[in-house]
Amino acid sequence: MTDEKTTSRTQVNLVGLSKADYRGNPTTLCQGCGHNSISSQIVAACYELDITPEDIVKFSGIGCSSKSPTYFLSRSFGFNGLHGRMPSLATGALFGDHTLKGLGVSGDGDSASIGMGQFKHVLRRNLRFVYIVENNGVYGLTKGQFSATAEVGLYLKGQGSNPYMPVDIAWEALVGNATFVARSFAGDPKQVKELIKAALSHRGIAVLDIISPCVTFNNKDNAVHSYAWGREHEVALHELSYVPRYEEIMVEYDEGEMEEVTMHDGSKVILKKLEHDYDPCNRAEAMRMLEEANEKQWLLTGLIYIDPDQPSLIDIYNLSETPLNRLTEKRLRPPRESIQQVNDLMF
């Protein structure tokens, strides 16, 4: 056994678990698939945040990406839904038990094609939910057809040239009133991990559009969703380090201005700014930056937008502190007098 493996088995976090307790089954995806790298960062983020795996519930739709919840957090409950239907499944389950943290993995086909309607509506409801789109520009599972996020003019063997303009997941999330919008690249594991940690602490919908290359069907160097293009064009909005409340604040970057964003639950996202003085609370500026990035062909990564103050779906319905699925029959059944009062009001 290597030193690294021994350490990861023996070192435990604040809830007494080792990193191995957060892993899932061995992956069956292609070697080098970006989705595998994202699964590893979900494992690392949950371990570092000291989350008890049983407090998370996983969701997905259909696709290679949607298979990946099997490869992390095997101690958490998981629901593999129908194609494009992850949001309604998650809404129902989290409404039933709002004490669980919801984490969903979808694909660009699953969210930007068949599931676009569901995607848009879960945003405006502000469900407390981490919504990861593993975006590779193709339908990987069904052998590489263009998805709605593929760039116009992309040429793929067996598909020809894509004639359509692409859907931009981050843009759709922003105009759809998502309260947390971020973009990253599977080849940048540190940024992916920090963004997942921040998303897990957000009290509303957190959309992470992660460019995740399909090494089998869409990884030519000139393709926007490839490793080579991503590495060459990535422009980070800021260096990002998420620091939970109970950890000592450590800053590992040398220079530059710092900005602290206070989330609804008091936790913090610490941003180190590069030369551009970027404010992720400014929605209009976020839109302008995305538009400029598209024009200049930058892969803009980092926390693009956050609004920690919007009420979530659970706040809007003013649900009882005890989750609905744990209310006893006695508490669910109103007394005879209350029913009489309602009836009296109606007739």
Binding site for ligand SF4 (CB under 6 A): 29-30, 33, 35, 64, 136, 140-141, 214-217
* Residue 33 interacting entry, from Mg ion, ligand SF4, ligand TPP, none, C-beta within 5 to 8 Å by type: ligand SF4
Element at 79 (helix H, strand E): strand 77-80
Tokens (6 digits) for 311:
């009420």
Least spacing, CB of residue 281 vs Mg ion, in Å = 31
Q: Classify strands 268-273 and 238-243 as parallel, antiparallel or unpaired.
A: antiparallel
- Cα 335 to chain centroid distance, Å, stands at 43
**Contact between 139 and ligand TPP per CB under 6 A:** yes
* Residue 184 interacting entry, from ligand SF4, ligand TPP, Mg ion, none, C-beta within 5 to 8 Å by type: none
129 forms bridges with which residues in the sheet?
Answer: 102, 205
Judged by CB under 6 A, the residue of 53, 63, 69, 230 near ligand TPP is 63
Least spacing, CB of residue 84 vs Mg ion, in Å = 12
* Residue 62 interacting entry, from ligand SF4, ligand TPP, Mg ion, none, C-beta within 5 to 8 Å by type: ligand TPP
Q: How many residues bind Mg ion (CB under 5 A)?
A: 4
Least spacing, CB of residue 76 vs ligand SF4, in Å = 22
> Exposure pattern of 151-178 as b/e (b: 16+ CB <10 Å)?
beebebeebeebeeebbbbbbbbbebeb
Contact 152, 162 (CB under 8 A): yes
Tokens (6 digits) for 163:
């004639």
Tokens (6 digits) for 107:
């694909």
* Residue 142 interacting entry, from Mg ion, ligand SF4, ligand TPP, none, C-beta within 5 to 8 Å by type: ligand TPP
Q: How many residues bind ligand TPP (CB under 6 A)?
A: 18
Site for Mg ion in 192-251 (CB under 5 A): none
Least spacing, CB of residue 144 vs ligand SF4, in Å = 7
Binding mask 66-85 for ligand TPP (x = CB under 6 A): -----------------x--
Type of residue numbered 165: M
Tokens (6 digits) for 280:
């992720």
* Residue 239 interacting entry, from Mg ion, ligand TPP, ligand SF4, none, C-beta within 5 to 8 Å by type: none
d(CA 98, CA 109): 28
Q: Quick one: which of 302, 254, 253, 241 has its CA closest to 276?
A: 302
**Contact between 69 and Mg ion per CB under 5 A:** no
Shorter beta-carbon distance to ligand SF4: residue 215 or 261: 215
**Contact between 109 and ligand TPP per CB under 6 A:** yes
**Contact between 286 and ligand TPP per CB under 6 A:** no
Site for Mg ion in 132-161 (CB under 5 A): 136
**Contact between 147 and ligand TPP per CB under 6 A:** yes
> Which whole-number Å values give the CA distances from 74 to 6, 21, 53, 81, 124, in the listed order?
20, 8, 8, 17, 30
Site for Mg ion in 92-111 (CB under 5 A): 107-109
Closest chain position to ligand TPP (CB): 107
Q: Classify strands 155-156 and 160-161 as parallel, antiparallel or unpaired.
A: antiparallel
> Which whole-number Å values give the CA distances from 60 to 16, 33, 47, 89, 314, in the listed order?
28, 18, 21, 9, 21
**Contact between 28 and ligand TPP per CB under 6 A:** no
Look at residue 134 and give its three-state secondary structure: strand
* Residue 217 interacting entry, from ligand SF4, ligand TPP, Mg ion, none, C-beta within 5 to 8 Å by type: ligand SF4
Q: Which residues bind ligand TPP (CB under 6 A)?
A: 62-65, 83, 107-110, 114, 134, 136, 138-142, 147
